[in-house]
Structure 1
Amino acid sequence: MWMFAIEKVLIGCDGINSVVAKWLGFKEASFTGRYVIRGYKKLMNNHGLEPKFMHYFGKGFRSGVMPCDDNTVYWFLTWTPTSEEKELAKNPSKMKQLVLRKVEKMPSDIKTFIEKTETKDILTSPLKYRHEWELMLGKISKGNVCVVGDAFHPMAPDLGQGGCCALEDGIILARHLAEAFTKKTGKHVAKEMGEEGKSKEQYKKIEASLRKYAKERRWRNIDISVTSYVLGFVLQGDLKLVSHFRDKLFPAFLAELLLKKSDFDCGKLN
């Protein structure tokens, strides 16, 4: 758990199970109905893959393989588990076999990276998100306390923008807080205030800066979170109509959507 206290500011960046978010009134993140299995394989030699993201779809699941560097390959699989599969989620060996069964039609030269992954390098977890109405109505800041990243907006990973949104949060929050800390009160006024008065004045500036941050970040994060949730449903869909749309009509639209959602300018720090 991570929480940063800067003088009189508490910034909750303590993840999806955030204590700070709970204090602000947010409920526990909701289950999307899907799970994800993630793994990686580090090789002694060059894997020989091009720097491309390889995407595979099946009935009710989707999988991806992507090189991280010349020697490391990351892979994942998302699916809607049965109650029995949920019970096996803590068993990496069983989860690895489940992945291999589902991706049996994957090219063998790609599937081999999953086959060679050690169980200690496999992680299974439920995919969670925060409902859009909670993001719309919830308190992102209160007094001198606020949340950023997954503590604020846990989301499905299908758009690949969760970490990026956290970085955007950090830049915009830093900009507003910098304004609160660097904006000086006139010497004559400060002298009349006294120490207690100056502390109260700075608290008000901090509180106002956090409200500005919350206002600026609310709708951007709602947009990304909702889009990610819907995208996950479409990409993993097993209904014939949804599968047809995904396979025949969606690729060009998806490429444009990913570029559009990631092309966001959060401005400079100063």
Structure 2
Amino acid sequence: MAQPRAVVIGGGIGGLTAACALHHAGWNVTVLERAPALEPVGAGIALAPNAQRALDTFGAGDAVRALSGWQADGGLRLPDGRWLSRTSNEAAARRFGGPVVVAHRADVVGLLAARLPEGAIRTGSPAALTDPGAPDRPARVTTPDGDLEAELVVGADGIHSAVRAALFPGHPAPRYTGATVWRLVVPRPTTPFPAHETWGPGRLWGTVPLRDGRVYAYAQAVAPARAVSPGGELAQLRRLFGDWHHPVPDILDAADPAAILRNDVHTTARPLPAFHRGRVALLGDAAHAMAPNLGQGGCQAIEDAVVLAHALATAAPHDALGEYTRQRLPRTTAVVRRSARVARLTRLSSPLARALRTAALTTANRLGPRVALRGLDGVADWRPPGEDRHRDARAAFPTSQTSSSTTP
């Protein structure tokens, strides 16, 4: 029997995970990435235990765990430095079966890309879906180098997905949430600090160490869509966060203005009717864009990828894609909504609303870190289908280093 063919449109973490999982399942995979190189837009990424277990299905979980550089506890703070809640590695691991890994996106992308055969990834290759296919014919993708036919096309082309628009042209696109985010990586300050996320009036800041001696920092604030910051993004960050607790001022002093990334936050306006049509499957932001406040955007894309590969390994493509939608649409819709609820909490700006938020979080902290971790119940404890069958895959790629970290 001929090896089935899959074309993945998009070379981000979700698309590369899908390519790795399909390759592991015996598919001939081609990844088409519009950018001239796999240089991911972004800085850091948090991979919760649910994503790590998904990566275990094709032997990449422990290699990702070894990327984490954060080995300490953390928590939630106020701009003046007071702690609202604390979490611990032990509590997170006990509740979810493992800690959260925080790594640089480029490291995760490089690790996944290295697992694919030479020539499987084509950069500088924009692609357009010209035929979604049907049970009796393959899907077709057009590229500058000619058309490709495949038994499966995976649309992993992000929030503004052209593949999604081609499959569901009348469906509303993701909407702007009213908040924008900044991300940056700087050398670690000399004065020690605990990892943290800090909530202020209508804005937040987070700081997490990376394994290479640098720090990943992220910020979020209410802002008009496509706003331009007077004096540049670093000047805007100083205006918003310059008087917050250590290490925020030191991180801003160390920041390279040219390396600060700014992106408006979009979320799914209305769930898609399905995550597939014909021989095409959507995953990640192309299927279910979400606010970043649960740290689950990349994790859900990774889940999508391994569930898709598992379905295709157990059924014919037409039935497998239906099963993929059946499993993933309800779960991701719930995660999108939960992320939106947390995002609304972070955007509170009135003194009364913030006082009530502080009181609620302080009370939860008194009851212990297990209460503070409940926001990820039913999310971070997810396990992939057929998990027992994948233990050999994890053992086949041992690593000498694992992380014991957790996120704030």
Report the TM range for the smaller structure's normalisation: 0.7 to 0.9
Counterpart secondary structure, 2:335: helix
Match of 1:80 in 2: 222
Q: 1:212 to 1:49 in 2, by over 3 A?
A: farther
Asked if residue 143 in structure 1 is aligned to residue 278 in structure 2, the reply is: yes
Aligned partner of 2:219: which letter? L
CA distance in 2, matches of 1:260, 1:86: 36
Asked if residue 15 in structure 1 is aligned to residue 158 in structure 2, the reply is: yes
Asked if residue 173 in structure 1 is aligned to residue 284 in structure 2, the reply is: no
1:150 Cα deviation from its structure 2 partner: 1.0
CA distance in 1, matches of 2:152, 2:191: 48
Match of 2:78 in 1: none
Which stretch of the first structure deviates more once superposed, 12-21 or 23-32?
23-32
Match of 1:62 in 2: 204
Paired residue for 1:158, among 280, 288, 293? Answer: 293
Residue correspondence of structure 1 range 94-133 to structure 2 within 5 A: 94-131=232-269
Q: 1:222 to 1:124 in 2, by over 3 A?
A: same
CA distance in 1, matches of 2:301, 2:251: 30
Residue correspondence of structure 1 range 189-200 to structure 2 within 5 A: none
Asked if residue 263 in structure 1 is aligned to residue 381 in structure 2, the reply is: yes
1:260 Cα deviation from its structure 2 partner: 4.5
Aligned partner of 1:24: which letter? L
1:231 Cα deviation from its structure 2 partner: 0.5
How many matched pairs? Answer: 236
1:142 Cα deviation from its structure 2 partner: 0.9
Match of 2:403 in 1: none
Q: 1:147 to 1:82 in 2, by over 3 A?
A: closer
Q: 1:260 to 1:111 in 2, by over 3 A?
A: farther
Q: Provide structure 2 residue ranges, at least 5 long, that are not aligned to the other structure.
A: 1-8, 20-27, 30-149, 365-370, 390-408
Which stretch of the first structure deviates more once superposed, 241-250 or 2-11?
2-11
Asked if residue 37 in structure 1 is aligned to residue 182 in structure 2, the reply is: yes
Match of 2:213 in 1: 71
- Show CA shifts across 1:79-120 (max 9, x none): 11157x8122xx7x6221221222233224442012211012
Higher relative contact order (CA 8 A, sep 6+): 2
Which stretch of the first structure deviates more once superposed, 96-105 or 152-161?
96-105
Contact (CA 8 Å) 2:205, 2:218: kept in 1 or not? Answer: yes
Contact (CA 8 Å) 2:310, 2:385: kept in 1 or not? Answer: no
CA distance in 2, matches of 1:27, 1:82: 20
CA distance in 2, matches of 1:169, 1:228: 17
Counterpart secondary structure, 2:232: helix
Contact (CA 8 Å) 2:242, 2:248: kept in 1 or not? Answer: no
1:162 Cα deviation from its structure 2 partner: 0.9
Q: Provide structure 1 residue ranges, at least 5 long, that are not aligned to the other structure.
A: 181-204
CA distance in 1, matches of 2:319, 2:202: 46
1:223 Cα deviation from its structure 2 partner: 0.9
Identity score, percent: 23
Higher-helix-fraction structure? 1
- Show CA shifts across 1:151-174 (max 9, x none): 111110001011111111111100
Match of 2:326 in 1: 215
- Show CA shifts across 1:220-248 (max 9, x none): 10111011111111122112343123212
TM-score (norm 1): 0.79
Q: 1:254 to 1:243 in 2, by over 3 A?
A: farther
Aligned partner of 1:19: which letter? A
Counterpart secondary structure, 1:210: helix
Aligned partner of 1:13: which letter? A
Q: If you compute each CA radius of gyration, which structure gives the higher value, 1 or 2?
A: 1
Counterpart secondary structure, 2:227: helix
CA distance in 2, matches of 1:263, 1:242: 31
CA distance in 1, matches of 2:382, 2:241: 34
